[in-house]
Chains A and B, each alone.
Chain A
């Protein structure tokens, strides 16, 4: 068995509002191994995005521990983890190239080198020729490509994807997923994807964790041992299985 990169043990997250305490995530334990593509799905509001944000170090767990590459998560670790969200979060006053360079600027990478790195990933995500375009000049899918290029430019082992294609139409979403796999094949990343799309989960993942309704716990884990690229027809059986797990009350 290969090395564990992300280790989540007994993690819970509670939010306090004025009159009640809500438990968003309840004692989740799982790990992700090097090179693995793990997807978390679950009904909306089940805490799957909260779980991802905790691994990203953007939220702290109420209890339990999260280790990334053996190190306890206490805040964002941009040198180990890159995150892409549903909203691309591009700085609107920067062009694509400069947006991709943002994370490198945080690391004080020299200008010339930043430019070279950005160009490389612009090409990899299929945005060649769009480096000098501004976000408002791009389609939703292109913005998301730029956001993914920005993630990849961080050159981390781990990629966290929080519904990155959630705002795109079904066709674009499936195409982007396929392209993502091609990109991952050359970059060898460990990926955690959070999505509400069963099809996306079945097409992309090595393993899927299905969460229950709030408070989110692990309902079941499903391994998908199919070769890539997978067509929607290849994964019907898995999609059905996931659907049953989401639909049936525990």
Chain B
């Protein structure tokens, strides 16, 4: 407990130093106000006042993220289980997943653009593809790494058929799947924001782009900070759930 408190204190100091340096970069005018807004400026009433006007960008983006994420999760988990059902299927298809994972998805962006047009569909498909592989790979690895001794013991106890899945395989794989799902949140958000930014369809990615070239610096940093904070807390919450789900792993 003492060491945890110590490291928390050091972390707080690092955050304060970061904010201080950021503030001084503006206060001493080391960086021009056209490029950087100080933390103090983000906390003013006018910054907050402007925010509601941007809410519908956030609404659209959250909606796209949820749809893309749902697609990635369903395909990733189901695909992962199907793929690891037999050794043969796994051996044949595994390289494709590895290749698919390795390809920088942004390089394929023009293809998605041609296939799905300039709108929301492309954003969703692109977001789903960026998130898919991490879920798929985690699920496949999880299923393949189910302790074979547990399966032998269960067999000797008469566990077979559906019960083999519900009582042994699925519970073993839950932590791996959840870890994939957590990492995928970050990937899908990245994919959706990038797609919006490139396509300039309504959404937070586009908002950031627009605020940036219109030199609306305070609002720009306000939006960016909001996205950053939301994602940090989402990730923390998911890490917390993950460690609860895998309490038996240590």
Chain A positions near chain B (C-beta within 8 angstroms): 56-58, 76, 78-79, 81-83, 85, 87, 89, 91-93, 102-103, 105-107, 134-136, 150, 154
Q: Does the CB pair A76–B155 fall under 8 Å?
A: yes
Q: Does the CB pair B150–A103 fall under 8 Å?
A: no
Which listed residue, B149, B167, B171, B247, touches A85 by the CB 8 Å rule?
B149
Name the CB-closest residue of A to B171.
A93
Q: Does the CB pair A105–B163 fall under 8 Å?
A: yes
Q: Does the CB pair A154–B248 fall under 8 Å?
A: no
Q: How far apart are the CA atoms of A92 and B246 in the complex, in Å?
A: 10
Q: Does the CB pair A79–B149 fall under 8 Å?
A: no
Main secondary structure of the interface of A (DSSP, over half): loop
* Chain B residue contacts of A89, Cβ below 8 A: 149-150, 152-153
* Chain B residue contacts of A78, Cβ below 8 A: 156-158
* Chain A residue contacts of B167, Cβ below 8 A: 91, 102, 105
User: Scoring B residues 123 to 165 as 1 if CB is less than 8 Å from chain A, else 0, what string do you get?
Assistant: 0000000000000000000000000011011111111100100
* Chain A residue contacts of B160, Cβ below 8 A: 106
Q: How far apart are the CA atoms of A87 and B156 in the complex, in Å?
A: 14
Inter-chain pairs besides A91-B167, A103-B157, A105-B167, 14 sampled, C-beta below 8 Å: A58-B156, A76-B155, A82-B157, A83-B156, A87-B149, A89-B153, A91-B150, A91-B171, A93-B171, A102-B157, A102-B159, A106-B163, A150-B157, A154-B157
Say yes or no: A92-B152 contact (C-beta < 8 A), given A102-B157, A150-B157.
no
Which listed residue, A56, A105, A134, touches B156 by the CB 8 Å rule?
A56
Name the CB-closest residue of A to B150.
A89
* Chain B residue contacts of A105, Cβ below 8 A: 159, 163, 167
Name the CB-closest residue of A to B163.
A106
- CB pairs A–B below 8 angstroms (11 shown): A57-B156, A58-B152, A82-B157, A83-B153, A83-B156, A89-B149, A89-B153, A91-B150, A93-B172, A105-B167, A106-B158
Which listed residue, B149, B157, B247, touches A106 by the CB 8 Å rule?
B157
Chain A nearest CB: distance from B244 CB in Å? 11
Main secondary structure of the interface of B (DSSP, over half): helix
* Chain A residue contacts of B250, Cβ below 8 A: 136
Say yes or no: A85-B248 contact (C-beta < 8 A), given A93-B171, A102-B167, A106-B159.
no
* Chain A residue contacts of B159, Cβ below 8 A: 102-103, 105-106
Number of residue pairs across A and B with beta carbons under 8 Å?
59
Q: Does the CB pair A107–B158 fall under 8 Å?
A: yes
Q: How far apart are the CA atoms of A78 and B159 in the complex, in Å?
A: 9
Task: Give the 6 A-B CB pairs with smallest separation, nearest first.
Answer: A78-B158, A89-B153, A103-B157, A106-B158, A92-B248, A83-B156
Name the CB-closest residue of B to A135.
B248
Q: How far apart are the CA atoms of A82 and B155 in the complex, in Å?
A: 11
* Chain A residue contacts of B158, Cβ below 8 A: 76, 78-79, 103, 106-107
Name the CB-closest residue of B to A150.
B157
Asked if B168 CB lies within 8 Å of chain A CBs, one says yes
Q: How far apart are the CA atoms of A64 and B91 in the complex, in Å?
A: 35
Q: How far apart are the CA atoms of A56 and B157 in the complex, in Å?
A: 10
Q: How far apart are the CA atoms of A154 and B159 in the complex, in Å?
A: 12
* Chain B residue contacts of A103, Cβ below 8 A: 157-159
Chain A nearest CB: distance from B157 CB in Å? 4
* Chain A residue contacts of B249, Cβ below 8 A: 92
* Chain A residue contacts of B168, Cβ below 8 A: 91
Q: How far apart are the CA atoms of A63 and B149 in the complex, in Å?
A: 26
Name the CB-closest residue of A to B157.
A103
Name the CB-closest residue of A to B164.
A106
User: Scoring B residues 213 to 250 as 1 if CB is less than 8 Å from chain A, else 0, what string do you get?
Assistant: 00000000000000000000000000000000001111
Q: How far apart are the CA atoms of A93 and B150 in the complex, in Å?
A: 12
